[in-house]
Amino acid sequence: MLQVNVLRQKPDWAKERLAFKNFKQTELVDEIIALDDERKRLQAEFDNTQALINVASKEIGKLMGQGKKDEAEEQKATVANLKSTAGELNEKMSVTEKSLQEKLVVLPNLPSALVPPGTSAEDNVVVRSGGVDNINLPANAVPHWDLIKTYDLVDFETGSKVTGRGFPFYKGKGAKLQRAMIQYFLDFNTAAGYTEFIPPFMVNEASAYGTGQLPDKEGQMYHVTEDNFYLIPTSEVPLTNIYRDEILKENELPIKMTAYSPCFRREAGSFGKDVRGLNRLHQFEKVEILQITHPEKSYDALEEMVHHVERLVQSLELPYRILKLCGGDMGFTSALTYDFEVYSAAQQRWLEVSSVSNMESYQTNRLKCRFKDANGKTQLAHSLNGSSLALPRILASILENNQTENGIKIPQVLHKYFGAEMIS
C-alpha cells in the first residue's frame, strides 16, 4: 500500500507514475488527499473536544468540593454534550478512515524510474539471454505433452477425474524428477544463505491482504469459505507475513528465506496451446526466494537475486532470456520486475519460469513490517521475492530441449538427485 505522505508531497508525480503503469484511475490520488485532510480535521476537532472534556471534568470536582452543586450540574451537562460531540466525531473519523483505506488499496505500487515504458508484454526489454545457440533437436522432436505420454510421466486425465482440469498426477519418473528438482533448487538456495521454511499452504485474510493478493486478486485465489482461509498462490504470502506487525533490528537485515510449496491459482484458462500440457495449471509446485532488506540496499538485493536465479537456470543447461518488464505489464505490488523465460524448442515459444521483483515498501506498509535504525528511528523495510524456480514449465523445457532418439537426457546437476542420467 502506498504511503499517504508520498501522495501528498508529490501528487502530480504519483499520478504520472500510476499512468506509466497503465493505471487509469489517477483521480484517486486527489480523493485520497482530500479524505486525509478531512481525517486530520476531524482528528483535530476530536482532540480539542477531548481537551475540553478533561478541563470541564476537573472543574466539576472543584465545584463539588466548594459546595457549588448547581454549577457542578451545569458542567456535567456540558460534559455530556461534549462527549456526544466526541462520539459523533469519532464515528465520522472511522467512516473517513475506512473510505481512505478502501481507496488506498486500489492504487498499485508506483513503478521505479528503472522501469521501461510500454503497455503490454510486447514492450518488455530483453536484458540478456543464454544457451539459445545450443539447441539441437532431432528432426522428429515433439512437444512435452507427447513426451509425457510416451514415457508415462504425468496423468492429466486421472487428475481431471479426481479433482478437475489443471490438477495433474505426476507419476513414476515424472514424480521422481519433480522431487529431484525441488530438492536441488532448495539446496542451491540454502547454499546462497537463504533459510529454508516449510510454510502453511493456507493463510488468513490478513495475510492475503498484507502481501497484496487482496483485494486485487481475490478472483484468482481458492477460498475456504467456512474458515475464511485462502490457499496460497505462492509461498511468498506466508513467508512475508512472518514479519507482519514486527519491528526488526537493523542488524537483522537482510532476512533471506526460501521455501517449497504447492501453489493454487484459478487463472488457468481453458483452450489453446498456451494452456496445453504443463504450460498452465491450477495447482503447481514452486520454490521461492524472498528477502526483507534495508530500503537503501533493496536494489542491490534485487540484482543479487536476479543473478542467483540466472545461475540456477544456467546450471540446468536451458536456453533462457531475462526481461525487464515495462510499466503496463508489471504486477500490482511490484516497483520493478525481471522475468525469466526458458525456450521451449518443440513449441518454439518462450515460457515464463520466474519473476524476481522489488516491492519496495508497498507490502511492508500493509504489513507494518518495520525496523529500528542506528538512531532509534523506526522505518519501513523493503520486501523482494522471486521464483527459484516454478517447476511445470522447467519440466516441460527439460523434456523438450533434451529429447533424443534414445530418451530424455537429465541435466547433469540433477543426476545425483534423480539417480539416473536418462529417462528412457
Q: In 197-249, which ranges are continuous DSSP H helix?
A: 205-210, 236-241
Q: Which fold has domain 121-423?
A: BirA Bifunctional Protein; domain 2 (3.30.930)
**pLDDT over 90 at 63, yes or no:** no
Choose among 107, 71, 141: nearest CA to 365.
107
Report the share of the chain in percent with pLDDT over 70: 98
- Residue type for 170, please? Y
Q: Are 317 and 131 in contact (CB under 8 A)?
A: yes
Give the pLDDT confidence of 187-244 residue by residue, as tens digits: 999 999 999 999 999 999 999 999 999 987 778 899 999 999 999 999 999 999 999 9
Give the pLDDT confidence of 143-166 residue by residue, as tens digits: 999 999 999 999 999 999 999 999
Angstrom distance (rounded) from CA 254 to CA 382: 10
Pick out the residues of the known binding site.
234, 265-267, 288, 352-355, 385
- Decide yes or no: CATH 1.10.287.40 for domain 4-104: yes
Pick out the residues of the known binding site for ATP.
265-267, 352-355
**Lookup result for grid cell 474458515:** 227
Q: Are 385 and 258 in contact (CB under 8 A)?
A: no
270 — pLDDT class (breaks 50, 70, 90): very low
272 — pLDDT class (breaks 50, 70, 90): low
- Segment 16-26 shows an average pLDDT of 96
Cell of 229: 482461509
Pick out the residues of the known binding site for L-serine.
234, 265, 288, 385
Give the pLDDT confidence of 311-348 residue by residue, as tens digits: 999 999 999 999 999 999 999 999 999 999 999 888 88
273 — pLDDT class (breaks 50, 70, 90): low
Q: What Rg do the C-alpha atoms of the chain give, in angstroms?
A: 27
State phi, psi for 4 to the nearest 5 degrees.
Answer: -60, -35
**pLDDT over 80 at 48, yes or no:** yes
Query: Structural domain boundaries of the chain?
Result: 4-104, 121-423
Q: Beta partners for 344?
A: 349
Angstrom distance (rounded) from CA 383 to CA 364: 7
This prediction has a pTM of 0.92
Residues 6+ apart with CB under 8 A from 261: 198, 199, 201, 232, 234, 235, 238, 285, 286, 288
Question: At how many degrees (to 10) do helices 172-191 and 144-151 cross?
Answer: 120
Choose among 30, 330, 273, 292: nearest CA to 146.
273
**pLDDT over 70 at 411, yes or no:** yes
How would DSSP label each residue in 330-382?
Answer: S-TT-SEEEEEEEEETTTTEEEEEEEEEE-TTHHHHHHT-EEE-TTS-EEE-E
Give the pLDDT confidence of 230-242 residue by residue, as tens digits: 999 999 999 999 9
pLDDT at 165: 92
**pLDDT over 80 at 275, yes or no:** no
